[in-house]
Amino acid sequence: MDMFVRPARRGAVVMAAVLSMTGGMLLAWNLVRPAALAGASTLELLIVIGLLVLPAAAIGAWQADRVATAQSPAVRAGDDD
């Protein structure tokens, strides 16, 4: 079961990150026009930035946590969450 769960979980996270970043790029592409940028609120612009940056930051933090957990001497067998 563990041989299926780990790759499935990683695939789901990567897929969510790719879809989020793609959505952010599409939104940014639509907002590049000066008329659209002038009408966009600060919140909308922050949402676009978040869609582009947060997935990569989350995957980076997840990888850093996995590395730190693997290097920890107190890791029990089977605990990788």
Residues 33-41: contacts with CB within 8 Å, 24+ apart? Answer: none
| CA distance between the termini of the chain | 15
Provide the pLDDT confidence category of residue 33 given band limits of 50, 70 and 90: confident
* Higher pLDDT pick, 15 / 35: 15
- Range in 12-21, 58-67, 70-79 with the lowest mean pLDDT: 70-79
Phi and psi at residue 78, in whole multiples of 5°? Answer: 95, -10
